[in-house]
Structure 1
């Protein structure tokens, strides 16, 4: 029924189809890409007036961080801390990042045996809950030049829970 030549033709047809799809994807990306890869910066072509003043319009914010921290859940913080365990330990030993036991209200860059980038000391002196909140939200935005590659925790509740968890293991 199937001889070697038939199987070779089927394999060649499959590989050829895959090649056509890959090349088509590459051509489409080049034609329709809106990224800044070619041609430098892109500016907005036109503005649609909506009648609202965008200069002073601030998004409605939720409760302040102190309020969220006061109602933080330590158990939830332990679960969220699972994302941090890849680089940080809480047993006093350093890993990819410095250990985090006792980090709340600890001086920035004070763990012996860990080579810091120096970006942290330029931003804050102590790891207060507010400084931890800012750093955990966007590490590179808070301390430009930090070695930490984590993108951050977007939810203020998650940040507050992690900080409450770190406070609980310090005590």
Structure 2
């Protein structure tokens, strides 16, 4: 019933029809293309709402830290507790955070897994440095081995820093 010639005719007919369809589509798009949607609007409807953005006044971090809640910081710290311990000398995947506020960067005795980026940094873990680090660890200390993405809310960062500072009196 079906020989090779019949199958070839059917396959070539389908391919030819597909080719004509694609060429027709391309020609129609070129013919009716209107040039995009980025132009100026012909008519603007006034909704009564002002389109200007509100300027958010940034509060200094010291003021946010002064109003931080230690209890909320303990709740937010649960995200950190998978890798960090708060008991003195009890290191986890990360170094212990007992007494971290005011401590030199990368200075925990007995913890040898600091990334080279942190060991090269000078200074201490001041509240401002902790704030910048906790906001986005990978951008503050590029090349750090800490996989945490950070805390985007400044209030959460202040609460965690107040909690860590309260641990060692």
Q: Cα distance 1:161–1:124, how it changes in 2: closer, same or farther (>3 A)?
A: farther
Q: Secondary structure at the match of 2:116?
A: coil
The structure 1 segments of at least 4 consecutive aligned residues displaced by more than 2 Å after TM superposition are 59-62, 121-124
Q: Structure 2 CA distance, aligned partners of 1:149 and 1:116?
A: 13
Q: Which residue of 2 aligns with 1:71?
A: 67
* TM-superposed deviation, 1:109: 0.8
Q: Structure 2 CA distance, aligned partners of 1:140 and 1:123?
A: 14
Q: Which runs of 5+ in 1 are unaligned?
A: 1-46, 50-58
TM-score w.r.t. length of structure 1: 0.64
Q: Which residue of 2 aligns with 1:111?
A: 108
Q: Cα distance 1:73–1:113, how it changes in 2: closer, same or farther (>3 A)?
A: same
Q: Superposition pairs for residues 77-156 of structure 1, below 5 Å?
A: 77-92=73-88, 93-114=90-111, 115-156=113-154
TM-score w.r.t. length of structure 2: 0.65
- Larger Rg computed on CA atoms: 2
Q: Cα distance 1:48–1:125, how it changes in 2: closer, same or farther (>3 A)?
A: farther
Q: Which runs of 5+ in 2 are unaligned?
A: 1-37, 41-54
* TM-superposed deviation, 1:121: 3.7
Q: How many residues align?
A: 119
